[in-house]
Amino acid sequence: MVTLTFPTWMEPYRALATGKMTGDQWQALLRQLIWPVMGIAIFLLLWQLAAQRIDTSLGQFPGPVDVWEQAGSLVDEHQASRAKEVAFHERQEKYIAARLQQQPEWEPVYRDYTGAPTFFDQIGTSLITVMSGFLLASLIAIPLGIVIGLSSTAYAAMNPLIQLFKPVSPLAWLPLVTMVVSAVYVTDDPMVAKSFLTSMFTVSLCCLWPTLMNTSVGVTSVSQDLVNVSKVLRLNALSHVRKIVLPSALPMMFTGLRLSLGIAWMVLIAAEMLAQNPGLGKFVWDEFQNGSSQSLGRIMVAVIVIGLIGFLLDRLMLMLQRALVWDKSSVQR
Amino acid sequence: MKALLELSNVGMKFDTPKGTFEALKDVNLKIDAGEFVSLIGHSGCGKSTVLNIVAGLLQATDGGVILDKQEVTEPGPERAVVFQNHSLLPWLTSFENVELAVKQVFKKTKSKAEIRDWVEHNLELVHMAHAMHKKPDEISGGMKQRVGIARALAMQPQVLLMDEPFGALDALTRAHLQDSLMEIHAQLGTTVIMITHDVDEAVLLSDRIVMMTNGPSATIGEILDVNVPRPRDRLALADDPTFVRCRQQVLQFLYEKQRKVEPLPKRESVKAEADRKRA
Ligand SMILES: Nc1ncnc2c1ncn2[C@@H]1O[C@H](COP(=O)(O)OP(=O)(O)O)[C@@H](O)[C@H]1O
Ligand SMILES: [Mg+2]
């Protein structure tokens, strides 16, 4: 006979299906499913009611149904654009093949499709930018945090600067970063777009602080007992950092990384919007400028998608943290 | 024969916000190879300070320590320490914790297989072979302390230093660990300095008991030879006349000669505290 085992969170549903619910399972069902669904339903209702009463210069504020329709049309536009792109490439292939037949010595020139980016292209751009910015920030913040945590001299030297730059808004950095990138990054054959670099550096500058602070605190709070163990074993400086300091600081480091990624995502949208850099922020800005009757609905789709992606990024970090960190109690929800 | 370990005129002054605090003064002690010596004294008298100076974790401000004709200037694995609260690396298993020490000490002299065997051998010695691949979080306090002892023994130290190794354990676990320690000491003949505040433990385990006076400027008050033959059995010893006399002498030292008056909290302040909590 085969016995099926269910994950514990599925227990209430199985019990519901078999008609044997205990009090605790009702509680679990309420907590996991009913209350969240109710919360969302009430929110949608209030939204609909409020939307009907708000008239803007672009028409009535979109309710849930309008937003759902706009989401559908964004998907359609994306598919249409992809179809065009495929058609473009087919045509190009055919043209080149035909010309090569007549002129075998001709060097074929391949062109990229240059249609306007769709909503989904913008999501992709934003994700790549935020990840690059976050990675760059981590590559700077983690080693620097370790140095600051290990050396009180380095801490004394850096602390005023950290305190000064930590609260700076991305909007203040942006013009400077833009100008510096334009001045420094001059090549004929750019590997990446300038706008990408501007957004990425702005994101890095704003999101490296939590990782830096948490790493350095994690490093300073290594238990004295473990430091003594390291001394008795005569671990050299490198082994001491690798075997004792880094693992000790890892839980704090991850807490910092998670905060940083959250900030990175928020900053990115603002930076893209302000600097007209490709990405979700630009999508919002373009729709706002465009000012058609559907714009508000489309912006609302973007708002929800931005929220969802932020949430998913956080879950991703949480999963990574759970997998890598030894101190499970340090992993909060 | 010359002593293995010699403390001569060791003194320790700490700089504190309230000025210099002289914790130790003129501590003189000679320990022979293979001896088991206990340090006993009231809490705060300076036992850990003595041990840390021998370990090299603290530098004496006066006098010095000589181990095997060499002055102690820094910590090292030949003076392995078992700390009070185990100090295992929480992200490593018992095996890996011991392995870290073994690799560090024997990386030039032992092959990979030899290292593994040596780690396992030491864990077996403390009866921890069954939980080798568990992390500190997954084993009890007594087991953690056993792994801590295995880690120290695996360094093959000239002196094993233990700072209240069983202080945080319940009586039954402590008895088990004391028996294991006696067994290991008999088997390996390691030189041991152990801090304890448990009189029975001191008498049961030691060849000599070093009794310290109360601080500040604490020093060695008396040294008692425990002339009870080994192997010792805790049950048989309970009414052994030598054992009882030794026990008596230590108690006398601690509670008559070095009686420590702990100020009790005032009644009013206790009441105020209770009121504050209720509010
Ligand atoms: N780093 C330090 N700075 C100042 N005072 C210290 C320091 N370490 C220990 N002391 C003082 O030295 C005395 C002895 O401490 P310790 O050796 O830990 O005592 P014991 O281990 O016997 O309980 C105590 O009064 C303690 O307050
Ligand atoms: Mg102590």
pLDDT in tens, A43-66: 999 999 998 888 888 788 899 998
Are residues A124 and A219 located together in one domain of the fold? Answer: yes
The structure tokens 């448990």 sit at B198
The winner for highest mean pLDDT among A17-31, A85-99, A128-142, A285-299 is A128-142
Q: Which of A226, A239, A326 sits opposite B87 (nearest CB)?
A: A226
Residue located nearest, by CA, to atom 5 of ligand 1: B14
Residue of B nearest to A247 (CA): B91
Residue of B nearest to A244 (CA): B89
Q: What is the mean pLDDT of chain B?
A: 91
Residue of A nearest to B83 (CA): A225
Are residues A193 and A44 located together in one domain of the fold? Answer: no
Q: Which atom of ligand 1 has the smallest separation from the CA of B47?
A: 22
Are residues A7 and A142 located together in one domain of the fold? Answer: no
Phi-psi region of B71 (alpha: psi -120 to 50; beta: other; left: phi over 0): beta
Q: Is the CB of B269 inside a 6 Å radius of any atom of ligand 1?
A: no
On whether residue A274 sits in a domain, the answer given is yes
Are residues A175 and A302 located together in one domain of the fold? Answer: yes
Name the residue range of residue A44's domain. Answer: 3-49
Average pLDDT over residues B98-127: 94
Give pLDDT, residue A277: 83
DSSP letters for A281-317? HHHHHHHHHH--TTHHHHHHHHHHHHHHHHHHHHHHH
Backbone angles phi, psi at B13, to 5 degrees: -115, 130
* CATH fold for domain B5-80+157-278: Rossmann fold (3.40.50)
On whether residue A221 sits in a domain, the answer given is yes
Summarize pLDDT for B248-261 with one digit per residue, the tens. 999 999 998 888 76
Nearest ligand for residue B167 CA? 2
Question: How deeply is B136 buried, as exposed, middle or buried, from its count of CB atoms within 10 A (0-12, 13-18, 19+)?
Answer: buried
Which of residues A34, A49, A64 is at a domain's end? A49
On whether residue A86 sits in a domain, the answer given is no
How far CA B223 is from CA of A89, A158, A300, in Å, comes to: 95, 53, 83
H helices present in chain A, as ranges: 11-18, 23-29, 35-53, 64-102, 119-150, 152-165, 170-184, 194-220, 224-232, 237-239, 246-275, 280-290, 295-324
CB A333 within 8 A of CB A319: no
Give pLDDT, residue B275: 60
| Å from CA of B195 to ligand 1 middle | 14
Q: Report the gap between the CA of A25 and the closest CA in chain B (Å).
A: 30
User: Rg of chain B over CA atoms, in angstroms?
Assistant: 20
Q: Any idea which of A4-13, A214-223, A244-253, B183-192 has the lowest mean pLDDT?
A: A4-13
Cis peptide, bond prior to residue A160, ω within 30 of zero: no
Are residues A288 and A195 located together in one domain of the fold? Answer: yes
**How is residue A333 written in tokens?**
């929800």
Are residues A33 and A123 located together in one domain of the fold? Answer: no
Give pLDDT, residue B185: 94
SS3 of A205, please?
helix
Q: Does B101 touch chain A (CB under 8 A)?
A: yes
The winner for highest mean pLDDT among A11-15, A183-187, B214-218 is B214-218
Residue A202: name the closest of A307, A299, A273 by CA: A273
Residue A251: name the closest of A145, A148, A322, A333 by CA: A322
Q: Any idea which of A115-124, A131-140, B173-182, B258-267 has the lowest mean pLDDT?
A: B258-267
Q: Is the CB of B212 inside a 6 Å radius of any atom of ligand 1?
A: no
Neighbouring-strand partners of residue B162: B82, B194
* Residue from B10, B20, B21, B211 whose mutation best tests the ligand 1 pocket (most atoms within 8 A of CB): B21
Q: Is the CB of B59 inside a 6 Å radius of any atom of ligand 1?
A: no
DSSP secondary structure code for residue A33 in this structure: I
Q: Is the CB of B47 inside a 6 Å radius of any atom of ligand 1?
A: yes
Are residues A159 and A22 located together in one domain of the fold? Answer: no
Size of interface A-B (CB pairs under 8 A): 50
Domain tally, chain A: 2
Interface test with A, best of B79, B82, B91, B161 (most A CBs within 10 A): B91
Q: Does B80 touch chain A (CB under 8 A)?
A: yes
Q: Is the CB of B51 inside a 6 Å radius of any atom of ligand 1?
A: no
Give pLDDT, residue B271: 55
- Residue B24 pLDDT more than 60? yes
Average pLDDT over residues A240-268: 94
On whether residue A23 sits in a domain, the answer given is yes
Q: What share of chain B is helix, strand, coil (3-state, %, to 5)?
A: 40, 25, 35
Are residues A39 and A133 located together in one domain of the fold? Answer: no
Confidence band for B1, pLDDT divided at 50, 70 and 90: low
Q: Report the gap between the CA of A145 and the closest CA in chain B (Å).
A: 21
Are residues A178 and A267 located together in one domain of the fold? Answer: yes
Asked if the Cβ–Cβ distance from B87 to A225 is below 8 Å, we say: yes
Give pLDDT, residue A242: 94
Distance of CA B95 to the CA centre of its chain: 23
Identify which has the larger pLDDT, B271 or A231: A231
SS3 of B46, please?
coil
**Rounded to an integer, what distance in angstroms lies between the CA atom of residue B275 and that of residue B279?**
6
Residue located nearest, by CA, to atom 7 of ligand 1: B14
**Rounded to an integer, what distance in angstroms lies between the CA atom of residue B147 and that of residue B153?**
10
> Residue ranges of the domains in chain B?
5-80+157-278, 90-156
Q: Is the CB of B46 inside a 6 Å radius of any atom of ligand 1?
A: yes
Query: With pLDDT > 90 as the criterion, what percentage of chain A qualifies?
Result: 52
Asked if the Cβ–Cβ distance from B135 to A223 is below 8 Å, we say: no
Are residues A43 and A126 located together in one domain of the fold? Answer: no
Backbone angles phi, psi at B167, to 5 degrees: -60, -35
CATH number for the domain that contains residue A312 = 1.10.3720.10
Q: Does B77 touch chain A (CB under 8 A)?
A: yes
Phi-psi region of B106 (alpha: psi -120 to 50; beta: other; left: phi over 0): alpha
- B chain contacts of residue A233, beta-carbon cutoff 8 Å: 77, 100-101, 104-105, 155
- A chain contacts of residue B89, beta-carbon cutoff 8 Å: 226, 229, 243-244, 247
Enumerate chain A positions whose Cβ falls within 8 A of a Cβ in B: 223, 225-226, 228-229, 231-235, 239, 243-244, 247, 250, 326-327
Are residues A33 and A145 located together in one domain of the fold? Answer: no
CB B31 within 8 A of CB B37: yes
Residue A228: name the closest of B130, B51, B62 by CA: B51
Q: Report the gap between the CA of A134 and the closest CA in chain B (Å).
A: 27
Note which residues in 171-210 of chain B have CB less than 8 A from chain A: none
Give pLDDT, residue A191: 77
| Å from CA of A293 to ligand 1 middle | 76
Give pLDDT, residue A186: 82
Interface test with B, best of A226, A229, A232, A244 (most B CBs within 10 A): A232
Half-sphere exposure of A163 (CA within 13 A, CB side): 6
Contacts of B88 (CB under 8 A, 6+ apart): B94, B97, B136, B144, B147, B148, B151
Nearest-5° Cα angle at A148, A333 to A206: 55
| Å from CA of B46 to ligand 1 middle | 6
CB B159 within 8 A of CB B192: yes
**How is residue A151 written in tokens?**
């050396």
Q: Is the CB of B215 inside a 6 Å radius of any atom of ligand 1?
A: yes
On whether residue A37 sits in a domain, the answer given is yes
Summarize pLDDT for B52-105 with one digit per residue, the tens. 999 999 999 999 999 999 999 999 999 999 998 889 999 999 999 999 999 999
